[in-house]
Structure 1
Amino acid sequence: MKLPKELYNGILIFLGIAVYFLLMAVLGLSHLFYLRLLNVLFIFYGVNKTIQMNLKEGETSFISNAVSAMATSVVGVSLSVLGLLIYSYAKGGDAYVASLSETFLFGGNPSVPTYCICLLFEGIASSVIVTMMLMLYTNNKYVAD
């Protein structure tokens, strides 16, 4: 059984982000918040791969490619947030999230679910931005009305 390209590339995004963050933790670099922002590169990779696969298959409709690209990024972000949820509880729950929030965007003392929901919304927003950037970049390859 062949996985849909959106799911396959979404899983690639998740694996890239997971390995990247685990590597940062092993190397002791997880406190550097600007390195955490580089995870958007994995989203760019997965979404671009979906768009290129669609174009190779002859799909030249802007809307269907945009939906496919958006689905890829949302799958990747959702799996990544789910992975963070499981990892956070494995590392100590709210105490672990409190150590993350000291160097990131959150103030106060967020719980694991609050942290994950906020990251999910942030991830979906970045998914929309990445999708639109790549769709506009490849705009000349689509059929005009």
Structure 2
Amino acid sequence: MKFSRELINGIIIFLGIGIYFLILDFMGLSHIFMLRILNILIVAYGVNRTISMNQADGIRGYNKNLLSAIVTSMIGAILSIACLLAYIQFKGGEPYLKNLADSFIFGGGELSIQQYCIGLLFESTAASLIVSFCLMQYWKDKVEVINKVD
């Protein structure tokens, strides 16, 4: 497992998510939940890119590739949340968060910026694990042959 591969693809995920959400915000579409959920495609692209690069380099083993996929998606998630924290502060802090949080799944109420980011961290961790496991189900016969009769 080359950590630089995970870092590069994690940064690609971060940039993709950042650009996607900035476009949604500038177009005034950030309140539409279904458009926000499409960021999972960006995460899937970055994770798939990592697994396919591992497979092309001959890195075999389900667990190695699964760990590589999870690390890639978590790097993208952590960088995205850190920049979202800075973006919320830049846009006005708590008042901006109040408008933003009302349309999120776990939003609403009186959340602080830190509570909001912790909630996003849990949400992104779950999404990262799901995407990694789903893509490994696709790649499992390509990265490790199990239960095959010679």
Q: TM-score range by the shorter chain?
A: over 0.9
Distance 1:15 1:67 in 2: 22
* Residues 1:137 and 2:133 aligned together: no
Distance 2:44 2:144 in 1: 23
Using structure 1 for the length normalisation, give the TM-score. 0.95
Distance 1:75 1:144 in 2: 28
* Residues 1:26 and 2:26 aligned together: yes
What is the letter of the counterpart of residue 107 of structure 1?
A: G
What stretches of structure 2 of length at least 5 have no aligned partner?
none
* Residues 1:118 and 2:119 aligned together: yes
Q: Which runs of 4+ in 1 moved over 3 A?
A: none
What is the letter of the counterpart of residue 61 of structure 1?
A: G
Distance 1:9 1:142 in 2: 19
Distance 2:65 2:17 in 1: 23
User: What aligned pairs does 1:1-145 form with structure 2 within 5 A after superposition?
Assistant: 4-105=4-105, 106-144=107-145
Distance 1:76 1:85 in 2: 14
| 8 Å Cα contact 1:101/1:109 also seen in 2 | no
| Range with bigger deviation, 89-98 or 102-111 | 102-111
| 8 Å Cα contact 2:98/2:108 also seen in 1 | no
Distance 2:33 2:77 in 1: 18
Deviation at 1:144, TM superposition (A): 3.5
Distance 1:48 1:136 in 2: 11
Classify 1:56/1:39 alpha carbon distance in 2 versus 1 (closer, same or farther; 3 Å).
Answer: same
Distance 1:34 1:111 in 2: 24
What is the letter of the counterpart of residue 113 of structure 1?
A: Q
| 8 Å Cα contact 2:85/2:113 also seen in 1 | yes
**The residue matched to 1:4 in structure 2 has which SS?**
helix
Distance 2:55 2:12 in 1: 19
Root mean square deviation, CA, Å? 1.4
Distance 1:35 1:96 in 2: 19
Using structure 2 for the length normalisation, give the TM-score. 0.92
